[in-house]
Amino acid sequence: MCAIAGQIFPAGIKAEKFRGTYEKMYRTMTRRGPDQNGSFIDENAALIHARLSVVDPENGLQPMELHIGEKHFILIYNGEIYNASELKNELSALGHDFTTHSDTEVLLHAYAEWGEECTGHLNGIFAFAVWEKHNGRIFFARDRMGVKPFFYAVCNNSFIFASEIKTLLAHPFLRPELDRAGLMQIMLLGPGRIPGDGVFKDIKELLPGEQGYFYSKNSGLEKKIYWQLEDKEHTDNFEQTVEKVRFLVTDSIERQLVSDVPVCTFLSGGLDSSIISAVADKHFTEKGERLKTVSVAYKDNEKYFRASKFQPNSDENFIRIMNENLNAEHMLVLIDTPELASALYEAVDARDLPGMADVDSSLLLFCKEIKKVATVALSGECADEIFGGYPWYRDKTIREREGFPWAQSTAWRAGFFRPEFLEGTDPVKYVDHYYRKTVDESSILPGTDKTEARMKQMMNLNVKWFMQTLLDRKDRMSMYSSLEVRVPFCDHRIAEYLYTVPWDFKDHNGCEKGLLREAMKGLLPEEVLWRKKSPYPKTHNPSYMKAVSEELRKIISDPDSPLLSLVRKEALEELLVSENAAPWYGQLMNIPQTIAYFLQLNYWLGKYNVQIV
């Protein structure tokens, strides 16, 4: 993986005058790409690249240039193309010559051959831009599921883009300003974001499955959606569906094991990570190699863990069972409260926004340790969104309730605002607008019954909102330590197919992700195959609640705390003595994480010098 950034100018302005700015932008990119760097600067374009070498480290340098006749293409790219070998054969047959085995060169030739239609040929995770020097325009695109980020701004007649917000903010054209729309997102939707919005004023994000052009001649911006979930008639019977799911999942995992640097898999002992680890273990063993599996745990969790509806059992026993059935070498990362609380602030530096509190900081610490043994990791994110694993898919009461199922606390959230910020705004209507817009955009065939239609709405909501928050987390926390994390369940072929699959297939045997479990019979030990879903592991140690509470009390007692300019002091004091507050964001963000979210918000307002405008 890598970091990309650039600027396209209108005619008459020379990019050279901003060389100092580009050096400043590059310095914000080095964690994502510590191995190599490069730039291309001409009259109307500046392209900057920082590389994390994964495939063909000796070659694949960027920006990569290609001359075909009078045409001159320059590419910068962040991602992996998993069908690069097939595309290379196809392009070779069309007359293209290759000098490396990097997917970067394949992508550049694919664009030269097919233009904007190239995205339809790609299987992978990507954000890239191609400057057409001969046409004076830049083409840009983001992968279908939104795994890789692409932020941008159009200001002063120029197009500025980057992999991360911090890189854009290093440009003098952009300032860390938060307008009313951004403020509402932080307090009423956060850590989620409106699709396509970067929260900071003027900063946008390319949508998953979106591409476009910016023209230097007239400063014109064009964008279009090239892919989205579409409902189709499902003609496969249950047995055929099971077979297709097994093929798609296995094929996706195997494709994503390709690497010229060390690879490992996350292993929580849950269904999704266990499937990935089992397929990867078989692949490595057949090559005469040994897979590494990595797990995270928290100090004294076995002492304080209490089973709940959402977390019925802890991971340790299931991790042990999996490792006894694999040929893998296992590594356990143990996290204690002081480092977990301290890393809340580093997690903001990584994400550029307040995030999922210790759900973020634990992953950031985990990835730091993984980087010591591997450069690439595979993780089980996105299976729950696609196969219907979350409680809100299966609980009829929650499912039929209007609103985002992971955020049913709008009135409570709004109560934290200082009153002047809510003037003229109805918080419930504000949140409902975005919920309703996404529901109404869901592709549903005419004549679909009520239950099936609702399940498609739920999948669309989850893929466009909740999953994006998790993908943000995964990308920023891992790339902060220069670790590439791949997500095989995010293969667009799996999402396309599962969107059409009837709910009673997905809910086979009345079990969450029953279809996936049926498809993977024989691959996993029975105890793991039928283990009830358990969410991402978090600390149950009361010392964490104590630590974050003490930090919030310090903020409350300091009248100069940035947080108090936005949030009511009395509401924060009430939060500290709450015993049964509504979850802030899904089942993982309860009272300790809500307190930690405000710690992150206070830090972010100060560290980024956020100006409310």
Annotated catalytic sites, by residue?
2
Which residues lie closer than 8 Å to 409 by C-beta, 6 or more apart?
Answer: 582, 583, 584
Q: Which residue has the tokens 């509401």?
A: 571
Given a contact cutoff of 8 angstroms between Cβ atoms, the answer to whether 361 and 340 are in contact is: yes
Instruction: Tell me the three-class secondary structure of 14-82, residue by residue.
Output: CHHHHHHHHHHHHHCCCCCCCCEEEEEECCCEEEEEEECCCCCCCCCCCCEEEEECCEEEEEEEEEEEC
Residue 285 to residue 277: CA distance in whole angstroms: 12
Q: Do you know the residue count of the chain?
A: 613
DSSP 3-state assignment of 9?
Answer: coil
Amino acid type, 431: V
Residue 441 to residue 203: CA distance in whole angstroms: 24
Phi, psi of 587 (to 5 degrees): -75, -10
Residue 174 to residue 154: CA distance in whole angstroms: 10
Residue 295, beta-bridge partner list = 332
DSSP 3-state assignment of 291?
Answer: coil
Instruction: Supply 194's token pair.
Output: 């409106």
Determine if residue 298 is left, alpha or beta; phi over 0 gives left, psi from -120 to 50 gives alpha, anything else beta: beta
Calculate the alpha carbon distances from 241 to 238, 302, 452 in Å: 5, 39, 17
Given a contact cutoff of 8 angstroms between Cβ atoms, the answer to whether 356 and 589 are in contact is: yes
Q: Which residue has the tokens 């791949």?
A: 486
Helices 492-500 and 450-461: angle between axes, nearest 10 degrees: 160
Residue 256 to residue 242: CA distance in whole angstroms: 21
Q: How many Cβ atoms are within 10 Å of 221's Cβ, its own excluded? A: 13
What DSSP string runs through 98-111?
-S---HHHHHHHHH
Residue 383 to residue 370: CA distance in whole angstroms: 22
Instruction: Supply 422's token pair.
Output: 């809510």
Residue 237 to residue 599: CA distance in whole angstroms: 51
Mark out the alpha helices in 127-237 (DSSP H runs): 165-169, 180-184
Instruction: Supply 277's token pair.
Output: 């680890």
DSSP 3-state assignment of 149?
Answer: coil
Phi, psi of 233 (to 5 degrees): -65, 130
Residue 483 to residue 275: CA distance in whole angstroms: 21
What DSSP string runs through 421-459?
GGTT--HHHHHHHHHHHHHHT----TT--HHHHHHHHHH
